Amino acid sequence: MSQRADLKSRSMDRDVCMPELETKILSWVLRCEELGVCVTGELIRKQAKAYYDEYQLVTNWPLKFSKGWLYKFQQKHGLSSKHQHGEAGSTPREAVRQGREQVLDTTRGYNASDVTRVPGLKKSKKRITLALTTNANGMDMVEPLFIGSAMQPRCFRGRSAADPGFDYTSSKKAWMNGDIFDTYLRKLDSRMEAASRNIILLVDNASPHKAKEDTLLTNVSLKMLPPNTTAYLQPQDAGIIASFKAKVKQRQLQNALEQIDSVMAGRQDRLYEVPLVEAMA
């Protein structure tokens, strides 16, 4: 047998060697669908890995539950991925049932061609901005600066953000502004002065990225990147931000996996929402 044929045979064996695991995953997916719980492909992969680890299943080759595995799993069991547009992903199931009955009552007596609607989209109003700062060799990472819309978020439960060790501030739209950036610069300059270091801080040419006229920086030299070059010259875009977002996504999926039993039991409705204080942690 050729090496290529042998590899193909091994791949096929790996695909069908654990029917009991696929049955378990399929039952879980169908149960979620029955209860109206929206699960993503990534969450299915995460749950599959959890089952694999939970039952300490032994295989000749480690299963990675890749996107390729997910595609084959969906094809084999007739599953497909669909986007939930607008408010579909954030509406309680009971409200959907009642609303469907109301719509049917309202439109009864009209031809389908005479029933129209204007589509709308609903996006989460929760926003947070995160400022990441690191040096060129990645050995010195400044504590992230979190910018929310509330001066004292309820999830802090009356505590200061500094109590759990967060650098948090707020603005009306949870955006960086001139005052916040200037305060940030002053803190960074004080830190560098205490460490007897002189640094250059590279930023893009966004309007808030300026020091105030009365701000005296002794150990930080603020330099702007040329206009329209951020995507090419911004050091943080060289994989740092992408890597950070990937880690956040994995944390979000893990949190959803831990909460899904509560969602399926009807004790909560929001599967993918994370309280601000937990997100910051």
pLDDT tens-digit readout, 221-262: 888 888 777 777 777 776 778 888 888 888 878 888 777 777
Q: 16-25, 105-114, 138-147, 236-245 — which is least confidently predicted?
A: 105-114
| Token pair listed for 280 | 């910051």
pLDDT tens-digit readout, 59-87: 666 677 888 888 888 888 888 776 554 44
pLDDT tens-digit readout, 162-171: 777 788 888 9
pTM above 0.85, yes or no: no
In words, the CATH class of domain 3-77 is mainly alpha
The CB-based long-range contact list for 86-92 (8 Å cut-off, 24+ gap) reads 86/119, 86/120, 86/121, 86/122, 87/120, 87/121, 87/122, 89/38, 90/122, 90/124, 90/270, 92/269
pLDDT tens-digit readout, 110-129: 555 444 444 433 455 677 88
Most trustworthy range by pLDDT among 34-38, 74-78, 87-91, 275-279? 74-78
Over residues 176-188, mean pLDDT: 93
Closest to 135 measured CA to CA, from 235, 238, 242? 235
As annotated, the residues of the chain forming the CATH 1.10.10 domain(s) are 3-77
Average pLDDT of the chain is: 75
Which residue do the tokens 């690191």 mark? 134
pLDDT of the residue at 18: 74
Residue 156's CB: how many other CB atoms inside 10 A?
19
pLDDT of the residue at 176: 92
